[in-house]
Amino acid sequence: DQQVKQNSPSLSVQEGRISILNCDYTNSMFDYFLWYKKYPAEGPTFLISISSIKDKNEDGRFTVFLNKSAKHLSLHIVPSQPGDSAVYFCAATLFSQGGSEKLVFGKGTKLTVNP
């Protein structure tokens, strides 16, 4: 059963407009959330994160919002640029019984920003 869901496999936006990528989770034990970006033939690269004690974190053009009651987070990119075209993965962390932290990923959303 998937604990982190990205229900939109793809998203297309116009350059300069806002991109909104959504992520839902089911496990209320998750307490730290991250967004990774992946270009073809490269590994995922860390973009931005948010702790469960916050509802918003901003870094330049990227803002992540967390709604714990809805178990929902979103990544806003504004303004979107063609170089933002990539696959975006939402991830959540869980502290396992083995004493290590596990990252649980969504399937990803492919963002295309059109010039």
Residues 81-100 binding other proteins (CB under 8 A) are 89, 93, 95-96, 98-100
Backbone angles phi and psi of 36, in degrees to 5:
-120, 150
Backbone angles phi and psi of 52, in degrees to 5:
-70, -10
Would you state the structure tokens that stand for residue 83, as one six-digit string? 């170089």
**Min. distance of Cβ 56 from other proteins in angstroms?**
17
- The reply on whether position 8 binds other proteins by CB under 8 A is no
Going by C-alpha positions, the residue among 111, 104, 103, 87 that lies closest to residue 38 is: 87
- The reply on whether position 70 binds other proteins by CB under 8 A is no
Q: Considering only residues 26, 27, 45, 114, which one is a binding residue for other proteins as defined by CB under 8 A?
A: 45
User: Given the rule CB under 8 A, which residues bind other proteins?
Assistant: 2, 4, 32, 34, 36, 41-46, 49, 51, 89, 93, 95-96, 98-108
